[in-house]
């Protein structure tokens, strides 16, 4: 079945199996720099795969034209949405595969193809989904800018030439470029042979060209936009109270850096230049000292007291060079960045120049103290750095074989604690309930359902709120004006989005699509029918079999559409005010149910598929054609009315016509619909009739049920409960069994982790992001954590044996926060300055004062320092108002941040 288009560009595709084989083979191609690949909507691609795998050319899963609508920010600029994820929002296919699919299925009108180039970046070759889009201007007119896109492998010289060409700057004119990352920061682009990637030029930045004056001088020593940067030369503020410029989705990095910057022992190590003597340039596991040097540069700038905000471009570039997952400017996990950075700093500063091989020994019944000391000693023989000194502690790991009861005890070092959060067994879902009552608007409900439940559980929950029996409900996923999927009651809820539609109904359930016909017939596509396009919200209708005639259906649909249609009254009024012409009536003067006067020839258009021209056949043939177009479930009822057209008087104007269609809303009925398994009906509106009598704004209105106003009561737990959960006995998963040396086979052993010794600075990672085979989610559990006196004495196996050993009480020094959901969000941080003891809130380049009672946050990472190592200044020195930069440091509070001074709550937005 070829895909029709208004341009007629689609060709007859090969068989379904051949289609799949050709595309699948092409998708195996390796990425090569310079090649073109194309973005394709994941939903459309999945439907295409389902279609070709059914082996039926008439399958109801026919995908229709390629439709990338969901990938665009809007349909005017066709800019790609931000933060789209491969294999979730889109798939990438090579050029040859794209052109084949395009020739077989065509593409939605006016949509441009999403072509992207393969680029060769350090450590990886990848498709550049988001090229860098920057603004170009001249220093003489900063308001007149033009946007341009560049690849990250393009050289700055290409940008230089683009500015010359667009602003008509002579090739002989001497010029220089500046890069503006914020309104307060600019940097000279000196080396035109550097790449966009190496200069950390990112989307949203501005490149400014400055042209030398005729007298040999430059218009300014710096562009005017550097006014605030120039002020930094005389600025003297509290060391460490410094923002970090967001280079483009780098808030995750900024948040982690601010927490580490306010970790006293590590920062003092770099400020005192202790790192210079310990740089390890030969460690094969390290980065030749480059990560440590780049980090040192950032810390020194932040603690110089001379900057409102630092631009960490060099550091970002170094991270991308050595960890390709952080290349580009997509959002990442701050904990993953922190893990990489701590490991990178450790290896770059490892005092062990040559690591010896050490064979690990099991406890074999030896005392814990002996085994622990041996494990720590062996760890230091291979790993000895400021990171180990500051952040490393020791676990005791106990494994028990379920078959032979073999007990294995080892002691392992750790750099941070990743503690689980209690996982709720319930899920909050927001759904739209669409009643069969034509006067009732759709209603939005917030329901609580079992997280591992099925669709029937969702219907049961809605039944409690509506009183409608669950067996009279149908759950559907509406996408692109049609039913993307109608769920079965035994399907798991994990496959349903949080916002889906639920319809009530019984008897014959029909799916109703809204379509608008074009003004002109599509003669060029091989037929003389009208082209149609879907719009609005589809409906599910329950119809008694006795009312399955066209006339009855028409009346039922009129009632169903009553809230959004001005009705037939107005159409009848307009008709009565004009003289009818029975010999040459138009489509507007015909019945949707074929009950027009047979003395006129206007019956055909109202009953033909999508408005076909009269064929000139005998009346008997016309009756046969008409019945063939009826919904399968209505055909039997209408057979009882032969010759009905002869006995029906001409009636008032019809607002729309009806047509049996397949599940995609096209006029070609699939075999599945023909036998009545799931009838699909299209309501076809003439554009003029739709404009007069159908109110789209009214049709989109809905009611919020009172359940939407009741906030979901989130679970509140104490941080200590999470730590207890971390030390709870668990059984290993099948994917990660333990090899029992006694049984000589892998076993699903029981495992327990205990804390043996803790570091000076303890990082606690709250595992808010949950990943399973069936779902991914961010846990919004509220966790209360203390600012002071976090006591680990009850968790440590190693008890204090003398007064020389450090205490196990900790105070909070920094928090990394995450706001938002899985695929989007924002990172910020709170931190206590080591010099003045004042708390600050860091939001990229913006820094504000924070009181302890304000630290109610969406905490993701907690930094605690052992009490015996903390300095407690008496009174934090205030910042003189004369030197305080505007919008940089203030004593303002954040809305909704009430909390206790000694214990704060954190939750996600």
d(CA 103, CA 428): 43
Q: What order of strands is seen across the sheet that includes strand 36-41?
A: 90-94, 36-41, 115-121, 124-127
Cβ atoms of 36 and 99 closer than 8 Å: no
d(CA 286, CA 299): 20
The catalytic residue positions are: 251, 826
C-alpha triplet 107, 112, 118: angle, nearest 5°:
110
What sign results for the dihedral spanned by CA atoms 623, 624, 625, 630? positive
Buried b or exposed e, range 646-662, using 16+ CB within 10 angstroms: eebebbebbbbbbbbbb
Helices (H), 739-874: none
Reported as half-sphere exposure (CB side, CA atoms, 13 A), residue 87 has a value of 0
Provide DSSP, 415-484. Answer: SSEEEE-PPPSEEEEEEEEE-S-TTPPPEEEEEEEETT-BHHHHHHHHHHHH---GGGEEEEEEETTEEE
d(CA 222, CA 219): 8
Cβ atoms of 596 and 577 closer than 8 Å: no
Provide DSSP, 782-815. Answer: EEEEESS-EE-TTTBSS---STTSPP-EEEEEEE
CA nearest to 68, candidates 5, 126, 112, 125:
112
Helices (H), 608-732: 619-628, 632-638, 671-674, 687-693, 696-699, 719-726
3 state SS of 506: coil
CA nearest to 294, candidates 252, 354, 349:
349
Q: Which long-range contacts (CB under 8 A, 24 or more apart) does 354-358 make?
A: 355/381, 355/382, 356/381, 356/382, 358/382
d(CA 87, CA 93): 11
Report CA-CA distances (Å) from 72 to 84, 684, 821.
10, 28, 20
d(CA 95, CA 98): 5
């Amino acid at each position: 079945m070829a895909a029709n288009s208004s341009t007629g560009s689609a060709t007859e595709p090969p068989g379904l199996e051949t289609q799949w084989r050709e595309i699948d083979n092409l998708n195996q191609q390796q990425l090569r720099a310079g090649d073109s690949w194309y973005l394709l909507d994941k939903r459309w691609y999945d439907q295409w795969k389902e279609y070709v795998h059914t082996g039926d050319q008439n399958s109801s899963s026919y995908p229709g034209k390629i439709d990338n609508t969901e990938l665009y920010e809007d349909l005017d600029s066709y800019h790609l949405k931000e933060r789209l994820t491969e294999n979730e929002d889109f798939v990438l296919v090579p050029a040859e595969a794209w052109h084949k699919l395009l020739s077989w299925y065509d593409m939605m009108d006016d949509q441009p193809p999403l072509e992207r180039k393969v680029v060769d970046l350090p450590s990886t070759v990848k498709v550049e989904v988001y090229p860098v889009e920057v603004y170009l201007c001249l220093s003489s007119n900063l308001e007149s800018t033009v946007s341009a896109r560049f690849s990250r492998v393009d050289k700055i010289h290409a940008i230089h030439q683009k500015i010359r060409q667009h602003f008509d700057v002579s090739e002989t004119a001497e010029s220089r470029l500046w890069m503006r990352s914020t309104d307060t920061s600019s940097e000279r682009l000196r080396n035109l042979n550097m790449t966009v990637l190496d200069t950390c030029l990112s989307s949203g930045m501005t490149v400014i060209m400055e042209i030398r004056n005729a007298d040999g001088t430059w218009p300014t020593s710096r562009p005017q936009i550097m006014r605030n940067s120039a002020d930094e030369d005389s600025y003297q503020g509290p060391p460490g109270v410094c923002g970090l410029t967001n280079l483009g989705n780098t808030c995750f990095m900024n948040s982690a850096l601010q927490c580490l910057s306010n970790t006293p022992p590590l920062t003092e190590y770099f400020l005192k230049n202790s790192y210079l003597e310990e740089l390890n340039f030969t460690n094969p596991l390290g980065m030749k000292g480059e990560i440590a040097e780049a980090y040192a540069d950032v810390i020194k700038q932040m603690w110089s007291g001379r900057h409102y905000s630092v631009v960490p471009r060099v550091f970002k570039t170094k991270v991308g060079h050595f960890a390709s997952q952080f290349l580009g400017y997509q959002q990442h996990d701050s904990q993953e960045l922190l893990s990489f950075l701590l490991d990178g700093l450790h290896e770059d500063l490892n005092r062990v120049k040559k690591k010896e091989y050490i064979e690990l020994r099991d406890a074999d019944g030896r005392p814990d103290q002996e085994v622990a000391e041996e494990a720590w000693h062996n760890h230091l023989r291979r790993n000895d750095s400021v990171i180990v000194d500051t952040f490393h502690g020791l676990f005791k790991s106990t494994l028990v074989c379920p078959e032979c009861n073999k007990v294995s005890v080892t002691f392992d070092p750790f750099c941070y604690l990743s503690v689980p959060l209690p996982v709720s067994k319930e899920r909050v879902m927001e759904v739209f309930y669409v009643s069969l009552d034509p006067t009732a608007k759709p209603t939005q409900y917030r329901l609580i359902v079992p997280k591992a439940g099925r669709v029937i559980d969702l219907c049961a929950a809605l039944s409690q709120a509506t009183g409608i029996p669950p067996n009279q409900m149908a759950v559907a996923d509406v996408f692109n004006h049609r039913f993307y999927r109608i769920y079965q009651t035994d399907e798991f809820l994990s496959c349903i989005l949080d916002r889906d539609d639920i319809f009530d109904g019984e008897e014959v359930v029909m799916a109703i699509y809204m379509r608008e016909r074009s003004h002109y017939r599509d003669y060029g596509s091989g037929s003389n029918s009208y082209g149609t396009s879907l719009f609005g919200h589809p409906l599910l209708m329950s119809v008694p079999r006795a009312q399955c005639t066209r006339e009855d259906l028409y009346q039922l649909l009129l009632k169903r559409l009553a809230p959004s249609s001005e009705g037939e009254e107005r159409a009848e009024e307009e008709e009565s005010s004009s003289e009818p012409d029975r010999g040459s009536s138009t489509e507007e003067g015909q019945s949707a149910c074929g009950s027009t006067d047979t003395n006129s020839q206007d019956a055909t258009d109202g009953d033909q598929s999508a408005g076909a021209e009269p064929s000139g056949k005998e009346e008997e043939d016309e009756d046969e054609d008409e019945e063939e177009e009826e919904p399968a479930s209505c055909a039997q009822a209408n057979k009882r009315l032969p010759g009905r057209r002869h006995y029906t008087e001409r009636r008032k104007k019809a607002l729309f016509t009806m047509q049996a269609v397949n599940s995609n809303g096209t006029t070609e009925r699939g075999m599945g619909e023909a036998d009545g398994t799931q009838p699909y009906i299209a309501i076809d509106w003439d554009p003029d009739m739709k404009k007069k009598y159908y109110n789209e704004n009214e049709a989109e209105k809905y009611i919020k049920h009172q359940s939407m106003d009741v906030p979901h009561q989130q679970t509140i737990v104490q941080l200590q409960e999470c730590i207890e959960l971390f030390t709870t006995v668990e059984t290993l998963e099948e994917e990660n069994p333990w090899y029992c040396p006694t049984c000589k086979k892998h076993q699903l052993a029981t495992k327990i982790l205990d804390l043996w010794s803790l570091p000076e600075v303890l990082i606690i990672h709250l595992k808010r992001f949950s990943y399973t085979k069936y779902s991914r989610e961010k846990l919004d559990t509220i966790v209360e954590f203390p600012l002071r006196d976090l006591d680990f004495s009850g968790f440590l196996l190693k008890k204090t044996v003398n007064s020389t050993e450090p205490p196990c009480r900790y105070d909070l020094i920094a928090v990394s926060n995450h706001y938002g959901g899985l695929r989007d969000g924002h990172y910020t941080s709170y931190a206590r300055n080591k010099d003045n003891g004042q708390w600050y809130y860091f939001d990229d380049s913006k820094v504000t004062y924070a009181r302890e009672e304000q630290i109610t946050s969406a905490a993701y990472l907690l930094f605690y320092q052992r009490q015996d190592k903390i300095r407690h200044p008496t009174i934090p020195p205030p910042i003189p108002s004369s030197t305080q930069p505007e919008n940089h440091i203030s004593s303002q509070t954040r809305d909704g941040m009430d909390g206790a001074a000694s214990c704060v709550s954190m939750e996600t937005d």
